[in-house]
Structure formats: C-alpha cells, structure tokens
Chains A and B, each alone.
Chain A
Amino acid sequence: MDPMTALAEAPNAATVVRDAVARHGGDVHDLVQILREVQEVCDWIAPEAIDALVAELGVPRTKIEGVAGFYSFFYLAPRGAYRVLFSDNVTDRIAGSAGLKSRMCRNLWIEPGKVSEDGVVSVDLTSCTGMCDQGPAMLVNNRAITRLGESRIDEICELIRSRVPLDEWPAVFFRVDDNIRRTDMLLGSPFELGAAMKAVETRGAPGMLDELLASNLRGRGGAGFATATKWLLCREAPAAAHYVVCNADEGEPGTFKDRVLLTRRPDLVFEGMTLCARLVGARRGFVYLRGEYRYLLEPLNRVLAGRREQNLLGLSILGVAGFDFDIEIHLGAGAYVCGEESALIESLEGKRGTPRNRPPYPVTCGYRNQPTVVNNVETFAAASLIAVYGGSWFAAVGTPQSSGTKLLSVSGDCARPGIYEYPFGVSVGQVLADCGAGAAQAVQVGGPSGNCIDAGEFARGICFEDIPTAGAFMVFGRQRDMFDVARNFTRFFAHESCGFCTPCRVGTSLLNDLMDKLARGQGSPYDFEQIEILNHRLRSLSHCGLGHSACNPVLETIAKFRSTYERRLVHTQYVPAFDLDRALAEARQMTGRQDAGAYIGDRK
C-alpha cells in the first residue's frame, strides 16, 4: 500500500471518537481508555480527534491534551503507522538491545526518536516491557515482541518496508512464554472455579475476615500492608459505593510475575477480587493492566465473560440476592508512576497520573472519592487460596512476619530466567543457585526502587523482615559494570517522573545528566559531591515514592561499588558537561576556519 492509499483510507477521526465514547457511555472517567481505543484505530490523537472528544464528552480541550500528553503511549503528533519501542531495561541492554536498535535504524534509514520521512515508522525507547526473561523485547503499536535477534530485526524491517499489517506478522514474534521454574502454593495448589466464593458464603463475611487475619497475608506490591486490615477499613468506611481495584500495572523494571499469574491463573485473581467485593460491599471492580500487556486484554475479557456465564460475576452471584459485582479491565498507557495506588486511581478516573496527597488513603477515599481496596495481582490470588484452604494453612508457610510464598521474576545473568515461587525467607544465594547464576556480583531485588544486594549479602532472606520486594530479581555477573546499571535506572526514573513536584521533576533530570557526564569521562570530585547532595534532596523533599527511591540505585552502588565511581572521576579539576571543541563546530562550519584558534586544543 503506498502512502497515498493509506491517506485515502485514513479512518474518520470523528466517527472513531463517537464510537469509542459510546462504548464507554460518554463517561469522561474512562478518558484514558477512550484515548487508547481512538489511537489504536487512528495511530495518533490528531487535533480533529480532540475536536470530536471535546464535543462528545463536553470537556475542555485542555483536559484532553493534558491527559493525553501525560502518557508515553499517547501521541499528540504523528509517530507513523508502525511505532517501534525497544524495551530499555538493563536486562534488555545486557542482551544486546542497543545494537539491535542501531541495526534497525540503519536498516530503515531513520534516526532514533524521529519519524521516517515517508511517515511510516518510528523507532524509540520505552521503559521495561516486562519480558526480561525473554528479551531483548520491543513493542510495535503496543504489541509485545520477544526474543529479538539480528535476523528477527531484519525480518521486522522487511515487514515494515512492505507495509504488512501487524496482524499478518508471524505469530512466533508475539509468543510470550511463562517460564515457570519453581512452583509452590500459589502456582501449584488445585483450585476449583468458584470455590473461594462458596467458602465465603459458608463461612460468612466475619469468618472470612478471621481467616484472612489468621493467614497474616500482607500486600504483595512491596509495601506489605496487612490485607485483612485494609479490607476491614474499607468495609467499615461508610459510603455510597465501594470499589475493588487490582493493581496490574507491573511497571517496576525486572518484574513480570503478574503477567504470568494473569496468564496462568486469572480466575484466582478475579475470584480474589470478587470475594473482596463481597467483604467490603463493592459492586464494581477494576483491573488496571499496564499498557505493555495489551495482548492480555482479549484473553482476560474472555475469562471474565466465562465467569459471567457461570454466575461468578454479574447480578446475584451464586444466586445470592444482592451479591452483585463485575470487573472491568482498564489499560495503562506507559506511565510507571501509575503503579502508585493514588496515581493509579487518578488514571482510572481518566486523569493525569499524578499521585494524590495522602492521607486520606484510598481505603477511605479512593476511586471517585469512595472507599477503595487497591491490591496487587498476587495478593488477590493468595486471598482466593486462603478462602479455600484456610488462614492457618497459609500462615504455616514462610517466616513469622511474612507468611506464604513470593513469586520472583528472575532475569539477567543466569542460565534459567523465569518465574520462581518460594516460601518467604528464601535466601538470595538459594535463588541464585537455582537459577544457575554462578558468578553473580550483585542482585537488584525489587527493581530500581528496591535494593542492590552484593555478594557479601547473599545469605540475606527475601521477606518483609529483611529484603522486601514486589518480585524483581535481576542478576548481574562479574563482567557487568554496576555504574552502568545505576545509570540505566537513573534514566528510568527521570523518564518516569510525573513532573508534579520540583525536586523529582528537575532533580531526576539533573541526576541523570550527572551520571551521563561521569559516563562520558567528564567527571571530577565536584560532580560526585553534587550527586550525593541531589540524592539527599530527592529523598528528603519528593512528593511520592518515585522521587524518594529515584536515588536508591546510585546511593547503593556508591556504597557498595564505590570504585566504579572513583574510576570515573578522572579529573581533579572541574570539567564542563559539554565538549568545548564540539561547541565550536558550528562556528567552524559557518566560517570555514580550521586554524589552531578554531579549536580549544584540549585534545592535543
């Protein structure tokens, strides 16, 4: 198809918008979903689409542009019919993503970040897409492609050049493996559809809350708040409506266990949400699924449809009058900060994903300012099993303060990356032995915002008492430079800062610039001092956890791998962050001068 034909067949933005708005009942709270659906048809959010959204939704243009401009996956300028985004996690880099991206750009004759001259394709970077065990990975029009290699890149370039529609690309490109390496209660316990809800009806709500309390289940998102307490607080908060939200915005680089849970045991998750709804009195629930997992939307909707058919969702669930509950899946659109529960709720409400001021907490003032339970995918799955097998069954596994098991997403320098389920308390060293990481110098547990564990600490345990984690476990062999790892994480935080508060908005960029400066060999002790001050400011002054933890990777690698920084402080005197000779290049070109005075002369 030549570009002219493509132009002629361009969908009518107004019609697309009208249909999308109608599917969402004209509810502006669904703006993020509406924008996604419009872009999936139109390739971008054109001014005409915004005109139509303004007319159909009756909201000002600033609202639409403000929200669309926040999310990485929404485009207010054309980005081509094929929008290629390379996953830029450090594990993708280790697996060679940078070279593959250059190869693709050379092959397609385009500059990274820019749209090709014919307007067909763009190639850029995106934050970790959650395929760390099968990378390098990319998204093409938000569809995940795994196991990239030179030949696959060349094939993709050819498909793009020939304008082959994405649906006709080889299915093997889109294959996503579960790579389950070790199972325990969560992935291994038999579960009969509806069993958890039947157990609740038998036990009654107070009985179920007792089991949950006895289980000592704590939130799997990393913070570890007691699930029974959260549900009880929500249940007791008086309100017109209550809501249940499943946080499947698995954005922490290196984490992919929710993807596998939602692929393997979606019923466990949905049933956990349903029994939560039963306990807190919610009629409506949401799964906030990260946009990178767009390919899971249809399969998950099929599971939901099946549950409705079996009367496990909908009106009078299991024939119990007044037990009405249903679940909708909302997709994110490329914003890590939406994994923070109050930012997630803002996004669910069709807004920019800016974290709210807390208190009040979502449990009393969440979605539409009503009491809302927000829990991780894994937490809901565990709750289902606790309903069936009982609280003491669950509490018997793990450590005193961390009952049950934890799913770990293992990636990086190891022979067998994938999902490992362990009882809480497992040592870092045990996991390393099991995944075949013989020569590890460090493990990043919990992703960039978590902890960097060096070889001297491999006896430490994974549990709330010692090393808490939402599940990321990235292994770095001795050949890796931990400075590069920290720099990759720093870039991630700068890219994902929401921009609301000054210290995080500006500070993460300043920190990123300083790390780049050191990487370019322009570092001096002055820069090192600045990095330490910025780290302190971010931790002290930021509005939310993103800013607080943005400095963790740098602080921890400075503490544990100081020599990798000192090696980069090559100058004793201050050196500019820009190359002085290069800063004269434009003038040399304009004047045609090549005499000695046309250079600063540092490179003699």
Chain B
Amino acid sequence: MDAKSRVRIATTSLAGCFGCHTSFLDIDERLFDLVRQVDFDRSPLTDIKQVGDCDIGLIEGGVCNAENVHVLREFREHCRILVALGACAINGGLPAQRNHLSLASVLQEVYLTAPGPAGGLIPNDPELPLPLDKVHPLHEVVHVDYFIPGCPPSADAIWQVLTDLVAGREPVLAQRLIHFD
C-alpha cells in the first residue's frame, strides 16, 4: 500500500483521563494489522504536536478550557471524519460534574479554601489555559460525525468503528458493544 492510499489518523485527549486511549491500545496485536493500513498523525502514540490533514480524528474527553477549544477546532478543520471517543467526549463525563457549580466557587474551593500547597492563589500564568464556565461534550462545540460510547469504550468497539471507517464503511456497533459505563 503506497503512502497516498494509506489512511491517516490523529488522536488526542482533551478533558479526559487517557482511559479511552488505554482502551484503544487494548486492541493488542490487532495494532499490527492497523499500522499496516494507517499512518498516525498527531497522537500520544507519535508525539507529533500539530495535527495535519487526516482522514480520521479520534478525540477523547470533553471541552473544559480554551486550549481544548483550539485543539478541537484544529481537529475538525483537518480531519475528514471526526469521532467522539468515550463518555466525556460524548456527554462531558466526569469533568462535567462541575457544571452545576459556578466556576468561581470551584476555583475558590480548590485554590483558596481547601487545604493544599497552592498557597492561596488562583493560578494566572498565561501559559495555562483558562477554564470555561461549563464543560461541554464535543458535539456542542463542533460537528461530530461518529460516537463510540463507553467509559471507556471497549477495545472491540474502537476496533469495530476504526476498521469500518478505514474500509470506507458506515460504522455499525453491535448492541453488545454499546455501553455507557
């Protein structure tokens, strides 16, 4: 297979725990089948920092800060097909549990009230991305083409969707591969 016909895939984690990426690696030896057909662009697997033009983008985690917004938009711009991977990408997940609190009260509690080493200062370094007032799933910020539910999705579910997409098929998950927890 020449480089032009090979499928290019990028992956990233926004407000997630890398559990979905870990589950992705659980496809085990099927990873060898995969790398015969695909090239990885930006991904924790490659250490490429900037996403280039890709066929498929897999994103784990929701959108909780300004940097997440930028990365998500870059992925949307460069990936022909964008896939939300796992609970946080799909409904905000655990980080979104702060959505019923005001951001001010969260920052206050974490950096000013609760005992800890921070020394009573809300970090204001321009290097740090600012948090949004609410955590959003991906589809509330950009258009998302496909979703793989689960916390994390099983390796089989990820494998199923990826192989369908690589083969140019509409991905279909068997009911036994659909779970939200």
Contact = CB atoms under 8 A, between A and B. Distances in A.
Q: Do chains A and B touch in the complex (CB under 8 A)?
A: yes
Contacts, number: 63
A583 B141 contact: no
Nearest to A583: B132
Q: Which of A585, A587, A599 has the most CB of B within 10 A?
A: A587
Contact of A587 (B69, B133, B136, B140): B133
B130 A584 contact: yes
Q: Which of A526, A590, A599 has the most CB of B within 10 A?
A: A590
Q: Which of A576, A586, A595, A599 has the most CB of B within 10 A?
A: A586
A588 B107 CA distance: 12
A23 interface: no
Interface secondary structure of B, over-half rule = mixed
Nearest to A525: B143
B48 interface: no
Interface in A486-540: 526
Given A583-B133, A586-B103, A587-B132, A597 B143 contact: no
A577 B140 contact: yes
A587 B141 contact: no
B116 interface: no
Contacts of B131: 584, 587
A591 interface: yes
Contacts of A595: 126
Contact of B136 (A573, A576, A590, A591): A576
Contacts of B107: 587, 590
Contact of A597 (B66, B103, B134, B136): B66
Given A576-B141, A580-B132, A590 B104 contact: yes
B22 interface: no
A593 interface: yes
Contacts of A574: 142-143
B130 A593 contact: yes
A570 interface: no
B46 interface: no
Given A526-B143, A574-B143, A587-B131, A593 B124 contact: yes
Contacts of A578: 134, 136, 140
Contacts of A590: 103-104, 107-108, 122
Interface string B108-120: 1000000000000
B46 to A, nearest CB: 26
Contacts of B76: 573
Nearest to A524: B143
A58 interface: no
B163 interface: no
A506 to B, nearest CB: 16
Contacts of B126: 593, 595, 597-598
A108 B129 CA distance: 41
B50 interface: no
A113 to B, nearest CB: 19
A591 B124 contact: yes
Interface of A: 526, 573-574, 576-578, 580, 583-593, 595, 597-600
Interface of B: 66, 69-70, 76, 102-104, 107-108, 122-124, 126-127, 129-134, 136, 140-143
19 contacts: A578-B136, A580-B132, A583-B132, A583-B133, A584-B131, A584-B132, A586-B102, A586-B103, A586-B104, A586-B133, A587-B103, A587-B133, A590-B104, A590-B108, A591-B123, A591-B124, A595-B126, A597-B126, A597-B129
Closest 7 CB pairs of A and B: A574-B143, A591-B124, A587-B130, A583-B132, A595-B126, A586-B103, A586-B133
